[in-house]
Amino acid sequence: MWVDLAITLVKILFIIGVTVGFFAPILTWVERKQSAIMQDRIGANRADILGFTAIGLFHCIADALKMFTKEDFIPEGANKILHTLSPIIAVVPAILTFAVVPFGGQYTIFDNEVNLVISDLDVGLLFVFAIASLATYGYVIAGWSSNNNWSLLGSMRTASQMISYEVTMGLTIVGVLMVYGSMKLTTIGAIQEDFFKWGLFLQPLGFFMFLAASIAENKRIPFDNPEAESEIVAGYFTEYSGLKFGMFFMSEFIEMVTIGAIMTILFFGAWHIPFLTTTTLLGWFDFLGTTGSNILVMLIQVGVFFSKVVFFIWLQMTIRWTLPRFRYDQIMKLGWKILLPLSLVNILVTGIVILVLN
């Protein structure tokens, strides 16, 4: 029992460390630097420690210091409790979804079964969507409690956009569930050991629709109407400053990682290398003994998983810095008139194909 507890604690610390401690600050740097390089610029490189700039990496530290030391401003007439609460409501679901996200398979280490997922729920996929949609409350409350017209407009747009695209997202997932026959994320990941059973090949239309819907959920360009700078200042977090603003900022970046992880598990072969099954890998490192080979394979597969996540983050960044913004009516049109019917068609076609094959 104590061993299980210790393993779970290590996994929790690892996930928190990777998402909050590594990805969230690094992604602020990546965002700047990648946009700069894509546009033939140099990008952030002025923050230095003793004249040493490390290609701008110290900007993460400078950002964090700035956020910590800024004045925490609550506007006049704002609801103080809700104004303080909403960034927490926004950021907690983003981290919480990682509870069911497997970042590796099952390994035997010192006669202990180690399953690299914090909580292996049977309804893991539903849990992800249930928790992720909770974040909407954070955004809506933020806009409502700020006592600002732009914030309210932004939160209204957030609510409508999130609801529209959650429908598409849910229906896209139905196709995936029909193909794999399980809601358990670990099972879905384990099935994709076979390269030709990757979600990308079984659900090609679903992949693109899920990508579009999840970027819309994350409110990034081309779906960034809730925080459109040129229209409504900064949307729902117009009145936020300091660490509260930082929490909204962080939740956006953690959501990017979450989307990358979910995409990897559902469509991109989870922690598997194409054409290399776990058994083959274990066979290669057999000379290290059971524990040694298991640890090595575990490290390799966790590395593979996170490199896939990094690829999806890169893809989202590229989309963000390539495409212009949709207009509000275009977003609604795309969500309700194109993606929703397409996802229904996707379910129908998947059902027919499964029926014919059986």
Partner 1 sequence: MAYYVNRNIKMTWWEKIYLPEIIKGMIITSRHFFSNLFGFIPFFLGTQKERKIMTVYYPEEQVQYPIAYRGRPVLAQNEDGHPACVACGLCEIACPAYCIHIEPGENSGKQNQYERWPDVFNIDYAICIFCGNCEEACPEEAIFMSDDCEISMLDRKKMLYTKEQLLTPVADLQKRIEFTRNMYAKWNY
Q: Residue numbers of the site for partner 1 (CB under 8 A)?
A: 34, 37-42, 45, 55, 208, 318-319, 321-323, 329
Cα distance between residue 334 and residue 307, in whole Å: 31
Nearer to partner 1, 30 or 169 (CB): 30
Nearer to partner 1, 14 or 321 (CB): 321
Q: Which of 224, 134, 202, 192 is nearest to 346 (CA)?
A: 202
> Least Å distance between CB 322 and partner 1?
5
Nearer to partner 1, 111 or 329 (CB): 329
Cα distance between residue 9 and residue 1, in whole Å: 12
Q: Which of 222, 217, 205 is nearest to 258 (CA)?
A: 217
> Least Å distance between CB 269 and partner 1?
21
CA dist 115 to 165, 213, 355, Å? Answer: 32, 30, 34
Nearer to partner 1, 48 or 229 (CB): 48
> Least Å distance between CB 37 and partner 1?
5
> Least Å distance between CB 148 and partner 1?
22
Q: Which residues contact 193 (CB under 8 A, 6 or more apart)?
A: 272, 277, 278
Cα distance between residue 331 and residue 339, in whole Å: 10
Long-range contacts of 62-69 (CB under 8 A, 24+ apart): 63/25, 63/28, 64/25, 64/246, 67/242, 67/243, 67/245, 67/246, 68/242, 68/243
Here the tokens at position 177 are: 């569930």
> Least Å distance between CB 338 and partner 1?
9
Nearer to partner 1, 129 or 311 (CB): 311
R_g of the chain, CA atoms, integer Å: 21
Q: Which residues contact 10 (CB under 8 A, 6 or more apart)?
A: none
> Least Å distance between CB 334 and partner 1?
9
Nearer to partner 1, 39 or 69 (CB): 39
Nearer to partner 1, 90 or 263 (CB): 263
> Least Å distance between CB 273 and partner 1?
23
> Least Å distance between CB 318 and partner 1?
6
How far from the centroid of its chain's Cα atoms is residue 340's Cα?
A: 22
Here the tokens at position 68 are: 């910590």
Nearer to partner 1, 36 or 302 (CB): 36
Give, rounded to a whole angstrom, the gap between the first and last alpha carbons of the chain: 43
